[in-house]
Amino acid sequence: KGHGMIGNIYSTGLAMQVLQATGKFYAPREWDCAQAFSVVYKHDYQLPIAIAQVLPALAGRSYLEAANKDCAAKTSMYPSLQLSCPQSRVQPEIAKVHYSIINKLQGKHFSYTTSVRVPSGSTLLKVLQAAQAEKPKIFSFQTEQTSWGPMVISIHGLAANANDRTYWQFLSGGKALQEGVGTYKPHNGEHIHAVFSTY
């Protein structure tokens, strides 16, 4: 359904470990691992915790096998899969990113949009910082550090609240981003929406 992605880009590695370790329980239906491998091969993992979840699956082992006394290295379970490098592309030195903040959920509703220029390859966090530097009264924000990187907890003075089940959701092209602001890299001309949402 997700063309190989299981949950999101971060949960896929862990799910792959489970499916590799418990594959015999899925007979007669066989798990098509090639799609999942294709997804993780294409992704540029930056966070150590994400790398730690996907690396065992790529090595054909899982953390469930860590207690196994046989420490001899085994050959890859998927020798036909080849790691291919994407073709190099010339990127502009500066990326123009459009950024909107929207609240139609609580208190006084608002919707603001700006365009900022950041070095090509910058993370979304750099985009937020550039917007805040240009218009601090509108695009101010706060983050909280987590094991998965910085998480935006407040924008324009409106804070997420676990009791109200509210949070700031980041979208591109109407789809939720699969990475956090500290790792996602918007492309030139992309429009990012930060929408105050509920779950």
Bind-site residues for cyanocob(III)alamin: 8, 53, 177, 199
Pairing verdict, β 191-198 and 94-103: parallel
SS3 155: strand
* Exposure b/e, 85-101, CB count within 10 A at least 16 = b: eeeeeeeeeebebebbb
Task: Count other C-beta atoms under 10 Å from residue 56's C-beta.
Answer: 20
DSSP code string of 82-118: ---PPPP----SEEEEEEEEEE-SSSS-EEEEEEEEE
Query: For residue 33, which amino acid is it?
Result: C
CA 94 to chain centre: 22
DSSP code string of 31-68: P-HHHHHHHHHHS---SHHHHHHHHHHHTT--GGGTT-
Which tokens belong to 142?
């706060």
Annotated binding site: 8, 53, 177, 199
